[in-house]
Every structure is written in C-alpha cells, then in structure tokens.
Amino acid sequence: MAARGGFSSRLGFVLAAAGSAVGLGNIWKFPYETGENGGAAFLLIYILCTFLICYPIMVGEIAIGRRAQSDAYGSYKLLGGKSWGFLGLFGILCGVMILSFYNVVAGWAFGYFLEISFGDLLETPSFGDFFGTYVADVSDNLIFSLGFMLITAFIVAKGVKGGIEKASKIMMPMLFIILLVLIGYSLTLPNAMDGVKFYLLPDFSELNLETIYSAVGQAFFSLSLGLGGLITYGSYVEKNQNITQSATMITFMDIAVAFLAGLLIFPLVFSQGQEPAQGPGLVFIVLPGIFQAMGPILGKVIGGGFFLLLCFAALTSTISLLEIPVAYIVDQKKVARKWAVWGMALLVFLIGLPSMLSQGAVAAFSSLPFYGGKSTLDFVAEVFSDIGLPLGGFLMSIFIAHRWKLAALTDEIAQGNESYRGSFMNKYINFVISYIAPVALGLFFLVILAEKIFGFSF
Ligand code: PFF
C-alpha cells in the first residue's frame, strides 16, 4: 500500500470523497434542474433517490476498491476475473470523457471569477450576449480551461496524501464558509422569502417521469457514482475504517451543499423578480445580473465570492476525475505518478477541445448532424454521464450480487465495523444491491436510451 499512497485518516478520505461529490453538479446543475422541475418536489425526489439507490451503491464502490487495493480496472479484474475488467475500463473511459467537458465548464467559472473580481465583467449591458460570446471565444476558453487543468494536474501529481487530501482539507471548509456567508447575505434581500418558498414548498403538479429520471441522473453525477471514482479512492482507505459511516458523511455533505446552493440562489433570483426556470444559464447569465444590481463594490465581492466557490467545488471534482485514469496507469502500467498525471492531463485536455469549440466557435462541433444538431459538449455529457453513470451503477450492482457475492461485500464492510453483520443496514444494502438498484436502474437506462438515442418522448 505504501507504494500506491493512501489517505492519512478517515477525515482525509471523507473530505476528499465529499470534494469529489461536491462540484458543478451541486452548485451549477442542481439549482437549475430544481428551477426547471418544480422546486421542492425535485429536491424531495433527489433525496429519496440518494438514499434508496445511491447510498448502497456508494458503499459497494468503496468496498470493492478497499478489498482489491487497486484502480477501477484492477479491482474488477482481481475480484471478478478478466472479463469483468471491462467494466473498470468503461468507468475509466467515462471518467476521462466527463473530465474533458467538465474542465471546460470549470474554465468558464474560473474566467468569470477572475473577470468579475479583477476585470469589468459586471459592467456588461447584456449578460446573455456576454455569455454567448464568452463561450464561443477560443482564446479565453483555451487559457482558462488550460489553467484549470494545470492546477488540477499540479495537485494530483503531489500524490494522494500530499496533494488530493491536503487540497480537500483546505478547500472543503473554505467552500462551506463562502457558501454560508453568501447565504447570510442573500436571505436579507427583499423578496428573498419568495425564493425560499419556491424552493421549500413542493409543487407536485410539475412532477413527471422526466423529473424522476433527471433526479436519478443528477444523484449519480452529484455523488460521483458509477465510474469507479470511489473504487479508486476506496483503494486508498485503511482496513480499520468504517465504510458505511464514511459513506453517510459523504452523502450528507453532498446533499447539504446542493441544498445550500439552492438556498443561496433562489432568494437571489426572486429578489430581482427573475424566473427560476432558466436552464444552464441560471448561474452564468442570471446571477451576474443580480451581482451587477448590487453596485460595483458589493457586486465584485459577492459575485467574485460566488464564482470562487464554484471553482473550489469544481477543482476537488476534477482532481478525483483525473485520479481515476492516473491510478489505472500507475497500477497497471507501472508508470511513475508524475508522468501519468501530466500525460493524462494533456490527453484529456486535447479530448476536450471539440467540446470547448462546440459552443459557437466551430460550426461542425456546435451542431452534430448524427445527434439531432446538438453540440459536442451535450453529446459527451449525455452519453458518458447521463447514460454512462447509471449504466455503470447497474452493472456494478449485478457484479456484486452475482459475481463477487453479497457475502464478500458484507465481509469487507464488516472490517472496521463488526456490528454491521446481520444489522438492519446490512440487510438494507443487500436488498438494494440485489433488487432495487438493478430493477430501477435497468428501467432508467431503457427510458433514457429510448429518449436520447431513439427520440421517444415520455
Ligand atoms: N460529483 C461531481 C459534481 O457534482 O460536480 C461530478 C463528478 C466528479 C462526477 C467525479 C463523477 C466523478 F467521478
């Protein structure tokens, strides 16, 4: 284990895994999905999905990694035989592809932070036009996303303890502090309570099948499940740690940040009489208008603070996404970590170029004829994240129930938590992995495939 590195303590692991979970998914995606899907009703379903399906899958992933002490590919291969190794490779591929577009969006957040805090972004007359021009601008995008990838690689190159764990221990508390300060401010604004009501009083009339599967996809993405990221982090966890307790803490932190991000954003939106259902532009178009209305100084402080928060959240996630293929190369190909990190970062950056150029810069990437005229970024996000992650979770539950076996899972979890054996939690996790997860995710997978690939609408 020493050669591979490892987390120094439970806190280190929990903060790093929570850092992976908390990201653009919580602060950028969750509020706009909630805004589009009936506010509190979406929040409730999201929380339900998290506990009914995702929590046991998270425990399963961590247990697989800790048992095998290897990367995603190596772990499946070791516990299931060579043919199961493909599931690890599929997860690694999803991780690389998700990082390739995630880093582009993180680059936008980085650029917004710098240009609000130190530039004149808030003097823009139209934030919609500004955002459109910004994401289509090749040089800005190149600089900021390359910058973000370099920072990510720099931290990952420093290793599990000295890089990933240390960065998470600094950034996660800062993230909570910035979030709480911003919420404190946003709740004092006029009409803030209308935003709180929209957010906390459920309107079930907006609920439909789409809401439900958006919530499942969001929960997987938000908790970083289905692609072996937690197998990788789990492989750095000591045998005497209590996995179920750590997973509970990670899950709560993830839900807390998504919940708090909504509590920050909806009062801001309602205080300016804006609509909550604004789609992906909510954070980049609507919020800057609100920061502008605060006046030049306060706008820079609160607006800059918000985008810094987004950068911290994104960075702890890009770190974990880069670690997935890096661990594979280090463990399987015996390449030194430093080379694996820089080589992989460069490769992922290059893979992300079409996504980066798909927001208006290059027409051929902006509208893919074989994918309904959608952009390359949408294509990569939908195939490798919206479909890929639940598919990975589905196959993982089958792997545990039918190949590795529930008894082996129980043995692994019981190390570090003897009272687990035979407990309610034990039965609950076994039941979800054997029945609920395969059935619900199998259905989810069919619905989403029918919609995205074959164009059905439910
Ligand atoms: N959980 C991250 C977010 O919510 O932004 C995204 C993510 C990170 C997904 C790492 C998958 C992963 F392995």
As a whole number of angstroms, the distance between CA 266 and CA 402 comes to 45
Q: For the chain, what is the radius of gyration of the CA atoms?
A: 21
Measured at the CA of 365, the angle between CA 323 and CA 352, to 5 degrees, comes to: 15
Number of the ligand 1 atom closest to the C-alpha atom of 95: 13
What pLDDT, on the 0 to 100 scale, is given for residue 231?
98
State the distance from the centre of ligand 1 to the C-alpha of 92, rounded, in angstroms. Answer: 13
State the distance from the centre of ligand 1 to the C-alpha of 295, rounded, in angstroms. Answer: 34
| Of the candidate ranges 183-192, 214-223, 447-456, the one whose mean pLDDT is the lowest | 447-456
Q: Can you tell me the mean pLDDT for 369-392?
A: 92
Number of the ligand 1 atom closest to the C-alpha atom of 21: 1
Query: Which residue has its alpha carbon closest to ligand 1 atom 12?
Result: 224
What pLDDT, on the 0 to 100 scale, is given for residue 3?
62
Number of the ligand 1 atom closest to the C-alpha atom of 314: 5
CA dihedral sign, ordered 147, 153, 158, 162: positive
What pLDDT, on the 0 to 100 scale, is given for residue 1?
38
Q: Please write the tens of the pLDDT for every residue from 274-325.
A: 888 877 788 999 899 889 988 999 999 999 999 999 999 999 999 999 999 9
Ligand 1 mutation target, pool 312, 320, 323, 384, most atoms within 8 A of CB: 320
Residue 457 token pair? 């609408």
State the distance from the centre of ligand 1 to the C-alpha of 223, rounded, in angstroms. Answer: 6
Length of the chain measured in residues: 458
Query: Which residue has its alpha carbon closest to ligand 1 atom 7?
Result: 224
Could you give the angle at which helices 85-117 and 388-398 cross, rounded to 10 degrees? Answer: 140
State the distance from the centre of ligand 1 to the C-alpha of 117, rounded, in angstroms. Answer: 26
Nearest to 403 by CA among 77, 55, 67, 91: 77
Tally of CB atoms within 10 A around 74: 21
As a whole number of angstroms, the distance between CA 76 and CA 371 comes to 32
Mean pLDDT of the chain: 93
Number of the ligand 1 atom closest to the C-alpha atom of 254: 4
As a whole number of angstroms, the distance between CA 26 and CA 258 comes to 4
Residue 117 has pLDDT above 80, yes or no: yes
Number of the ligand 1 atom closest to the C-alpha atom of 26: 4
By the 10 Å C-beta count (0-12 exposed, 13-18 middle, 19+ buried), 135 is classed as: buried
State the distance from the centre of ligand 1 to the C-alpha of 222, rounded, in angstroms. Answer: 6
Number of the ligand 1 atom closest to the C-alpha atom of 229: 13
What pLDDT, on the 0 to 100 scale, is given for residue 428?
98
State the distance from the centre of ligand 1 to the C-alpha of 294, rounded, in angstroms. Answer: 32
As a whole number of angstroms, the distance between CA 427 and CA 434 comes to 10
9 contacts: CB under 8 Å, gap ≥ 6: none
Nearest to 236 by CA among 322, 324, 116: 324
Q: Please write the tens of the pLDDT for every residue from 257-268.
A: 999 999 999 999
As a whole number of angstroms, the distance between CA 26 and CA 312 comes to 12
State the distance from the centre of ligand 1 to the C-alpha of 95, rounded, in angstroms. Answer: 9
Q: Please write the tens of the pLDDT for every residue from 429-442.
A: 999 999 999 999 99
State the distance from the centre of ligand 1 to the C-alpha of 345, rounded, in angstroms. Answer: 17
Ligand 1 mutation target, pool 221, 230, 231, most atoms within 8 A of CB: 221
As a whole number of angstroms, the distance between CA 404 and CA 76 comes to 9
Number of the ligand 1 atom closest to the C-alpha atom of 24: 5
Three-class HEC string of the chain: CCCCCCCCCHHHHHHHHHHHHCCHHHHHHHHHHHHHCCCHHHHHHHHHHHHHHHHHHHHHHHHHHHHHCCCHHHHHHHHHCHHHHHHHHHHHHHHHHHHHHHHHHHHHHHHHHHHHHCCCHHHCCCHHHHHHHHHHCHHHHHHHHHHHHHHHHHHHHCCHHHHHHHHHHHHHHHHHHHHHHHHHHHCCCCCHHHHHHHHHCCCHHHCCHHHHHHHHHHHHHHCCCCCCHHHHHHCCCCCCCCHHHHHHHHHHHHHHHHHHHHHHHHHHHHHCCCCCCCHHHHCCCHHHHHHHHCCHHHHHHHHHHHHHHHHHHHHHHHHHHHHHHHHHHHHHHCCCHHHHHHHHHHHHHHHHHHHHCCCCCCHHHHCCHHHCCCCHHHHHHHHHHHHHHHHHHHHHHHHHHHHHCHHHHHHHHHCCCHHHCCCHHHHHHHHHHHHHHHHHHHHHHHHHHHHHCCCCCC
What pLDDT, on the 0 to 100 scale, is given for residue 424?
97
As a whole number of angstroms, the distance between CA 282 and CA 150 comes to 27
Nearest to 286 by CA among 105, 137, 130: 130
As a whole number of angstroms, the distance between CA 64 and CA 233 comes to 10
Number of the ligand 1 atom closest to the C-alpha atom of 320: 10
What pLDDT, on the 0 to 100 scale, is given for residue 2?
37
* % of the chain at pLDDT higher than 70: 99
* Domains in the chain with CATH codes: 10-452 (1.10.4160.10)
pLDDT band at 211 (very low <50, low <70, confident <90, very high): confident
Q: Are 432 and 56 in contact (CB under 8 A)?
A: yes
Q: Can you tell me the mean pLDDT for 209-232?
A: 91
5 compared with 192, residue with greater pLDDT: 192
State the distance from the centre of ligand 1 to the C-alpha of 46, rounded, in angstroms. Answer: 16
Ligand 1 mutation target, pool 100, 172, 222, most atoms within 8 A of CB: 222
Residues with CB under 6 A from ligand 1: 20-21, 23-26, 95, 98, 221-222, 224, 227, 229, 317, 320-321
* % of the chain at pLDDT higher than 90: 81
